[in-house]
Amino acid sequence: MNIFLCGFMGSGKTTVGKALSTDLNMDFIDLDKLIEIENNESINEIFKNKGEGFFRNLETEALKNVCKNDNQVVSLGGGAVLKQENVDIIKANGTLIFLEVEAKTVLKRLKNDTSRPLLNVDNKEAVIEKMLQERTPIYKNNADFTVNANKNSKNTASFIKKIIKI
Protein backbone atom coordinates (compact mmCIF):
# COMPACT_ATOMS: atom_id res chain seq x y z
CA MET A 1 0.00 0.00 0.00
CA ASN A 2 1.12 3.53 -0.78
CA ILE A 3 -0.15 6.82 0.59
CA PHE A 4 -0.29 9.73 -1.83
CA LEU A 5 -0.57 13.31 -0.62
CA CYS A 6 -2.10 15.88 -2.94
CA GLY A 7 -2.91 19.52 -2.45
CA PHE A 8 -2.01 23.02 -3.41
CA MET A 9 1.56 24.25 -3.18
CA GLY A 10 2.36 25.15 0.40
CA SER A 11 -0.19 22.70 1.81
CA GLY A 12 2.57 20.76 3.54
CA LYS A 13 2.73 17.68 1.33
CA THR A 14 6.48 17.27 1.77
CA THR A 15 6.62 18.16 5.47
CA VAL A 16 3.60 16.05 6.37
CA GLY A 17 4.81 13.26 4.09
CA LYS A 18 8.18 13.06 5.83
CA ALA A 19 6.55 13.00 9.28
CA LEU A 20 4.01 10.39 8.19
CA SER A 21 6.62 8.15 6.56
CA THR A 22 8.74 8.27 9.73
CA ASP A 23 5.75 7.48 11.96
CA LEU A 24 4.66 4.57 9.74
CA ASN A 25 8.15 3.30 8.88
CA MET A 26 7.50 3.82 5.17
CA ASP A 27 9.74 5.23 2.45
CA PHE A 28 9.22 8.89 1.53
CA ILE A 29 9.17 10.07 -2.08
CA ASP A 30 8.83 13.70 -3.14
CA LEU A 31 7.76 13.35 -6.77
CA ASP A 32 8.91 16.86 -7.75
CA LYS A 33 12.37 16.30 -6.21
CA LEU A 34 12.60 12.94 -7.98
CA ILE A 35 11.82 14.63 -11.33
CA GLU A 36 14.46 17.29 -10.65
CA ILE A 37 17.09 14.66 -9.85
CA GLU A 38 16.22 12.47 -12.83
CA ASN A 39 16.27 15.43 -15.24
CA ASN A 40 19.12 17.39 -13.66
CA GLU A 41 16.94 20.52 -13.79
CA SER A 42 14.75 22.34 -11.30
CA ILE A 43 11.00 22.37 -11.82
CA ASN A 44 11.34 26.10 -12.57
CA GLU A 45 13.89 25.36 -15.32
CA ILE A 46 11.77 22.58 -16.82
CA PHE A 47 8.72 24.89 -16.93
CA LYS A 48 10.76 27.72 -18.41
CA ASN A 49 12.75 25.71 -20.96
CA LYS A 50 10.29 23.00 -21.99
CA GLY A 51 6.85 24.11 -20.81
CA GLU A 52 4.22 22.84 -18.42
CA GLY A 53 3.00 20.14 -20.82
CA PHE A 54 6.45 18.58 -20.99
CA PHE A 55 6.71 18.69 -17.20
CA ARG A 56 3.28 17.03 -16.79
CA ASN A 57 4.43 14.14 -19.00
CA LEU A 58 7.60 13.74 -16.92
CA GLU A 59 5.39 13.72 -13.84
CA THR A 60 3.25 10.88 -15.19
CA GLU A 61 6.30 8.78 -16.08
CA ALA A 62 7.86 9.39 -12.65
CA LEU A 63 4.58 8.40 -10.98
CA LYS A 64 4.43 5.15 -12.96
CA ASN A 65 7.98 4.32 -11.87
CA VAL A 66 7.31 5.16 -8.22
CA CYS A 67 4.25 2.90 -8.25
CA LYS A 68 6.39 -0.12 -9.04
CA ASN A 69 7.07 -0.17 -5.29
CA ASP A 70 4.91 -0.32 -2.17
CA ASN A 71 5.14 0.96 1.40
CA GLN A 72 5.72 4.57 0.38
CA VAL A 73 4.38 7.97 1.28
CA VAL A 74 4.43 10.00 -1.93
CA SER A 75 4.23 13.77 -1.99
CA LEU A 76 2.71 14.76 -5.32
CA GLY A 77 3.19 18.05 -7.11
CA GLY A 78 0.31 20.50 -6.78
CA GLY A 79 -0.94 19.79 -10.29
CA ALA A 80 -0.42 16.03 -10.43
CA VAL A 81 -4.08 15.09 -9.91
CA LEU A 82 -5.28 17.53 -12.56
CA LYS A 83 -4.43 14.83 -15.10
CA GLN A 84 -6.86 11.89 -15.05
CA GLU A 85 -4.18 9.39 -16.07
CA ASN A 86 -2.27 10.27 -12.88
CA VAL A 87 -5.39 9.87 -10.75
CA ASP A 88 -5.98 6.43 -12.25
CA ILE A 89 -2.38 5.38 -11.50
CA ILE A 90 -2.66 6.68 -7.92
CA LYS A 91 -6.01 4.98 -7.25
CA ALA A 92 -4.67 1.65 -8.52
CA ASN A 93 -1.68 1.88 -6.19
CA GLY A 94 -2.82 3.36 -2.89
CA THR A 95 -4.80 5.90 -0.92
CA LEU A 96 -5.04 9.55 -1.99
CA ILE A 97 -5.25 12.18 0.74
CA PHE A 98 -5.99 15.83 0.00
CA LEU A 99 -4.28 18.31 2.31
CA GLU A 100 -6.67 21.25 2.26
CA VAL A 101 -5.39 24.74 3.09
CA GLU A 102 -6.75 28.25 2.99
CA ALA A 103 -5.25 30.94 0.74
CA LYS A 104 -3.94 32.86 3.75
CA THR A 105 -2.00 29.78 4.88
CA VAL A 106 -0.45 29.37 1.44
CA LEU A 107 0.50 33.05 1.34
CA LYS A 108 2.09 32.88 4.77
CA ARG A 109 4.04 29.71 3.98
CA LEU A 110 5.21 30.78 0.52
CA LYS A 111 5.59 34.56 0.82
CA ASN A 112 9.35 34.47 0.16
CA ASP A 113 9.47 31.32 -1.98
CA THR A 114 10.63 31.96 -5.55
CA SER A 115 10.88 28.29 -6.55
CA ARG A 116 7.21 27.99 -7.59
CA PRO A 117 6.88 28.72 -11.32
CA LEU A 118 3.14 29.34 -11.19
CA LEU A 119 3.58 31.88 -8.38
CA ASN A 120 6.36 33.94 -9.92
CA VAL A 121 3.90 36.80 -10.44
CA ASP A 122 3.27 40.23 -8.94
CA ASN A 123 -0.07 39.50 -7.28
CA LYS A 124 0.47 36.14 -5.57
CA GLU A 125 -2.68 36.44 -3.48
CA ALA A 126 -4.99 36.79 -6.50
CA VAL A 127 -3.29 33.90 -8.30
CA ILE A 128 -3.48 31.67 -5.22
CA GLU A 129 -7.19 32.46 -4.72
CA LYS A 130 -7.99 31.74 -8.38
CA MET A 131 -5.99 28.52 -8.50
CA LEU A 132 -7.48 27.28 -5.22
CA GLN A 133 -10.99 27.91 -6.56
CA GLU A 134 -10.15 25.88 -9.68
CA ARG A 135 -8.22 23.07 -8.04
CA THR A 136 -9.93 22.42 -4.70
CA PRO A 137 -12.99 20.70 -6.24
CA ILE A 138 -10.68 18.48 -8.31
CA TYR A 139 -8.58 17.57 -5.27
CA LYS A 140 -11.71 16.81 -3.20
CA ASN A 141 -13.43 14.79 -5.92
CA ASN A 142 -10.41 12.54 -6.43
CA ALA A 143 -9.22 12.13 -2.84
CA ASP A 144 -10.15 9.22 -0.62
CA PHE A 145 -9.84 11.56 2.38
CA THR A 146 -9.65 15.33 2.87
CA VAL A 147 -7.62 16.67 5.79
CA ASN A 148 -7.39 20.24 7.07
CA ALA A 149 -3.69 21.10 6.78
CA ASN A 150 -3.74 24.68 8.07
CA LYS A 151 -2.18 23.59 11.37
CA ASN A 152 1.26 22.08 11.97
CA SER A 153 2.56 19.06 10.10
CA LYS A 154 2.80 16.74 13.12
CA ASN A 155 -0.91 17.21 13.92
CA THR A 156 -1.81 16.67 10.27
CA ALA A 157 0.30 13.49 10.06
CA SER A 158 -1.20 12.19 13.30
CA PHE A 159 -4.73 12.81 12.03
CA ILE A 160 -3.96 11.01 8.75
CA LYS A 161 -2.74 7.96 10.69
CA LYS A 162 -6.08 7.85 12.51
CA ILE A 163 -8.28 8.14 9.43
CA ILE A 164 -6.43 5.49 7.44
CA LYS A 165 -6.34 3.26 10.52
CA ILE A 166 -2.66 2.36 10.49
Backbone angles phi, psi at 97, to 5 degrees: -120, 125
The arithmetic mean of pLDDT across residues 74-102, rounded, is 95
- Residue 106 in this model has a pLDDT that exceeds 90: no
0.75 surpassed by pTM = yes
Q: How many CB atoms lie within 10 A of CB 89?
A: 18
- Residue 113 in this model has a pLDDT that exceeds 90: no
Q: What is the pLDDT of residue 166?
A: 58
C-alpha closest to that of 77 among 25, 22, 124, 117: 117
Q: Which CATH homologous superfamily contains domain 2-154?
A: P-loop containing nucleotide triphosphate hydrolases (3.40.50.300)
40: left (phi over 0), alpha (psi -120 to 50) or beta: left
Reported as a pLDDT band with limits 50, 70 and 90, residue 136 is very high
Q: What is the pLDDT of residue 152?
A: 85
In sequence order, what are the residues at sequence separation of 6 or more whose Cβ sits closer than 8 angstroms to the Cβ of residue 44? 115, 116, 117, 120
pLDDT digits 0-9 by tens, 32-78: 999 999 999 998 899 889 998 999 999 999 999 999 999 999 999 98
